[in-house]
Amino acid sequence: MTTVQAARGPETPIMAIAGASVSFGAARVLDGIDLELRRGEFVCVVGPSGSGKTTLLRLLSGLQPATTGTVFHQGTVQNGPARGVAIVFQDYAHALLPWRTAAGNVSLALEAAGLPRAQRADRIAALLATVGLAAHADHFPAQMSGGMQQRLQIARCLAQDPDVLLMDEPFGALDAMTRQKLQDEILRIVAASGVTAFFVTHDLEEAIYLGDRVVALEPNPGRVGAIFDVPLPRPRTQLSTREHPEFLRLRRDLFDFIQQFEP
Amino acid sequence: MTAGVVGRARGLILPLALVVLWQALASIRGIESDTLAAPVQIVGALGDALVNAEFWIATRDTVLSAALGLALGGVLGAMTGLVFGLVPPVSRLMRVPVEVLRPVPAIALVPIAILIFGFGYALEVAIVAFAVFFPVLILIEAAVRGVEPRLTEVARLLRLSPGARIAKIVVPAVLPRAFVALRLAAGLALVVAITVEIAANPMGLGARMILAAQSLRAPDMFATLIWVAVLGWAINAGLVRAQAALFPDAQRPR
Amino acid sequence: MIGVPRSVLWFLGSCLVLVAGLGLWQVLADSGAIPRAFFPGPDRVWTALHRGFSSGAMIGETLTTVRRMALGWALASVIGVGLGALVGLSPWMRTYVAPTFEGLRPIPASALAPLAVLAFGLSDGMILALIAFGAVWPMLLTTVHGVASVHPRKAEVARLLGLSRLAYAWKIALPAATPDILGGLRLGLTVALILAVVGEMITVQGGLGARIMIAARRFNAADIFAGVALLGAIGLLTNAALSQIEARLLRWTHR
């Protein structure tokens, strides 16, 4: 899956933001952002409301142009959405096509990439199996639970064959049990595909549990406040990882950091 | 606010340009056709019509027939809808007869109505009433069904009599949606009245239009057509404003 | 009666009400309580239908009306949905062209009949043009609305996947607008039948509309009722057919 770029080498960041700011009219949402995503790492983003978490993710995706500064993808300047960068949106109900079955939704990404019809079926089956939806290929989104729809959206993103997977509070609308299950699934999927993950969440524990690094934003305007390395061993498990002393220490630090901005 | 005005102004560019182009073509080449009339001719015909007593009589005939038909069909439809909504078994038993009668185009009843009433007001009022009856029935029934169950529970707790329950709970709760039904039905009534006049009844604006067309007086035909559109806009706009004034809390109409 | 769903029982009961209504009509007609010249009993309407069909004339008239309605409706569908998609997908057209459509909407479709008479004379073409022109508006406006109100998230997904504008229209905007478009097609179907009848009444160029108009001039009430019954049946059947198509196309909305 991983394409080793001989020219740039594995040390070049896969994505980088250099001195970027984003303004909507007079309101500055992000200011002076410098950030690098290393190949294959799992970066989580937390921050109080108004810190521009989602705007940062959209900046990386190319959907949101930078007002000043530059975004690099694979060492070249990014001027808009690229097929190598996929997004899992929180509102899966709007992001999926309700008139297409699970298989049809995955197929959309393959059609967009111009994959010949004959080769699609196998890819679709494999992708649906990866996210545990093999038995639901013929179901419409309306016939699936929220967790299943979010798995489906992940499968469609993987069908893009991305090198960067952006996720915008993907499990925010799901119940606690489904959430934990999907956290473990996404760790497995990211590890297996070698994709670089960028995960926005408002749940501090989720950020620590998933991430190699946690970027904490400060609000008004959004800036990078601190970056925490997460030296917890992998594979991670819901019980032992969350009881690890390092986990508890990080949780404390992150909590203290966020707390200073709460009224 | 300014953006809205600018947006509307942009929407006016195309129709204005078409009118100017139409007039320019007519002026330069001269209109030989019986089908088209130049905008200037149409405006002239409309100006003549507006100072013509017969034109206003035609307008009165059309509007009055539409209004009477709306009143008759609307009241009958609303009452039937109220009964259907309050007593579900009646609604279920009447389902098949209603579904069989509803798709009959009202205009097809014109020949029967001619036999019964002859030409004139009664014919037109009857057809408009039939056309308006079913949509009002269905909208009111749905509105009664949609009355918040909590309100019905309140009525039960207060031990209101059935009559008081309808007068004090159901009717006020249904009123905003009933007004929406009225607005739709009013537009329909005008359309049906004019259709009856075009198809058969020798009175009103519809008859005026078809007569103008058959005697190849295109400017008169277009002038009346524009007048009909203005009436339709005015009635709808008036009812929208009335709705906003009477039921400020109700959902805004699309 | 065990095992029969309640809804079926209600339906059968409702059919009985219809039969009882027809029976009452028959009794009233036979007793002379209502004038037979205006309200011939169901028996005489049935006879008129039977006579019309066995002579073949009524089949021809019915087919003429259905053909006009279907042709005009199909023409209006192609133009309405095509143009609607074009306008709905282009912000430029939405700003400059859509308001004109909105402004023309309150003009009653039947009020265009005199215009059609001017342009085409009292002919078959006039009826077809009238139907197509009248039925196009609901389809056009619902398609513009449906295509323009696709959730912005879906447009973003299309951008991220790199879909072309054509692919976006075909794979996302039009399917998303299907419920709206079908609503427009349904409205258009009602309008098409009405305008077919109006057009036939004015031009008297065959069809059921002309037939009932001629029957009225001959004071033949049974023939009028037979024609009206057939028009009702056309409305009922075409609507039912469209409902079937709709149910199939909108399978995905059901849980």
Q: How far is B147 from chain C (nearest CA, A)?
A: 23
Cβ–Cβ of B213/C193 closer than 8 Å?
Answer: no
Query: Would the pLDDT of B207 be above 80?
Result: yes
Which sign does the torsion angle of CA B196, B198, B200, B203 carry?
Answer: positive
Confidence of residue B2 (pLDDT cuts 50, 70, 90): low
Q: Which pLDDT score, from 0 to 100, does residue A186 have?
A: 95
Query: Would the pLDDT of C108 be above 90?
Result: no
Confidence of residue C35 (pLDDT cuts 50, 70, 90): confident
Q: Are residues C75 and C162 in the same domain?
A: yes
Cβ–Cβ of C172/A87 closer than 8 Å?
Answer: no
Chain C from 101 to 140: CB within 8 A of any B CB: 102-104, 106-115, 117-119
Q: How high is the mean pLDDT of chain B? A: 86
Strand bridging mode A15-24 / A85-88: unpaired
User: Which chain C residues are closer than 8 Å to A138 by Cβ?
Assistant: none
CA atoms of C168 and C173, how far apart (whole Å): 6
Q: Are residues C94 and C202 in the same domain?
A: yes
Neighbours of chain C (3+ CB pairs under 8 A): A, B
CA atoms of C200 and C223, how far apart (whole Å): 16
Task: Write the pLDDT tens digit of every residue in C150-162.
Answer: 999 999 999 999 9
B107 vs C18, C107, C198: nearest CB? C198
CA atoms of C8 and C14, how far apart (whole Å): 10
Q: Are residues C5 and C88 in the same domain?
A: no
Q: Which pLDDT score, from 0 to 100, does residue A197 have?
A: 97
A142 vs C154, C178, C252: nearest CB? C252
Q: Are residues C2 and C88 in the same domain?
A: no
Do the Cβ atoms of A128 and A102 come closer than 8 Å? yes
Q: Which pLDDT score, from 0 to 100, does residue C154 have?
A: 95
Residues spanned by the domain of C17 = 1-33
Instruction: Quote the radius of gyration of chain C (alpha carbons, Å).
Output: 23
Q: What are the beta bridge partners of residue A88? A: A167
pTM of the full structure: 0.85
Q: How high is the mean pLDDT of chain C? A: 90
In the block, tokens 């430029």 appear at C92
Q: Are residues C113 and C16 in the same domain?
A: no
Chain C from 96 to 155: CB within 8 A of any A CB: 151, 153-154
Q: How far is B157 from chain C (nearest CA, A)?
A: 31
Q: Are residues C131 and C181 in the same domain?
A: yes
Q: Are residues C171 and C193 in the same domain?
A: yes
**Could you check whether the bond before residue A235 is cis, i.e. omega within 30 degrees of 0?**
yes
Q: Which pLDDT score, from 0 to 100, does residue A10 have?
A: 60
Q: Are residues C106 and C199 in the same domain?
A: yes
Q: Which pLDDT score, from 0 to 100, does residue A9 have?
A: 57
Q: Are residues C90 and C23 in the same domain?
A: no
- The domain ranges of chain B are 1-30, 35-251
Given CB atoms, is C251 within the 8 Å cutoff of chain A?
Answer: yes
Do the Cβ atoms of B171 and B197 come closer than 8 Å? no
Which residue, B49, B217, B40, B41, is CA-closest to C118?
A: B217
> Which carries the bigger pLDDT value, residue C35 or residue A216?
A216
Do the Cβ atoms of C118 and B34 come closer than 8 Å? yes
User: B35-251 belongs to which CATH class?
Assistant: mainly alpha
Cβ–Cβ of A97/C175 closer than 8 Å?
Answer: yes
Mean pLDDT of A20-31: 92
Query: Would the pLDDT of A154 be above 90?
Result: yes
Q: Is the ipTM of this complex over 0.90?
A: no
Mean pLDDT of B60-87: 94
Which residue, C162, C193, C204, C208, is CA-closest to C71?
A: C193
Query: Would the pLDDT of A11 be above 80?
Result: no
CA atoms of B123 and B114, how far apart (whole Å): 6
CA atoms of A39 and C172, how far apart (whole Å): 33
Given CB atoms, is B93 within the 8 Å cutoff of chain C?
Answer: yes
**What percent of chain C shows pLDDT beyond 90?**
62
Given CB atoms, is C248 within the 8 Å cutoff of chain A?
Answer: no
Strand bridging mode A213-218 / A196-200: unpaired
Q: Are residues C6 and C98 in the same domain?
A: no
Number of domains in chain C: 2
Q: Are residues C201 and C87 in the same domain?
A: yes
Mean pLDDT of A99-115: 95
Mean pLDDT of C227-233: 93
> Which carries the bigger pLDDT value, residue B22 or residue C254?
B22
Cβ–Cβ of A91/C162 closer than 8 Å?
Answer: no
C163 vs A63, A112, A142: nearest CB? A112
Confidence of residue C116 (pLDDT cuts 50, 70, 90): confident
Q: Domain containing C122 — which CATH number?
A: 1.10.3720.10
Neighbour-count burial for C27-38, b at 16+ CB within 10 Å, e otherwise: eebeeeeeeeeb
Query: Would the pLDDT of A7 be above 70?
Result: no
Q: Are residues C211 and C89 in the same domain?
A: yes
The amino acid sitting at B113 is: A
Q: Which pLDDT score, from 0 to 100, does residue A214 have?
A: 96
Given CB atoms, is C162 within the 8 Å cutoff of chain A?
Answer: yes
Strand, coil or helix: what is A15?
strand
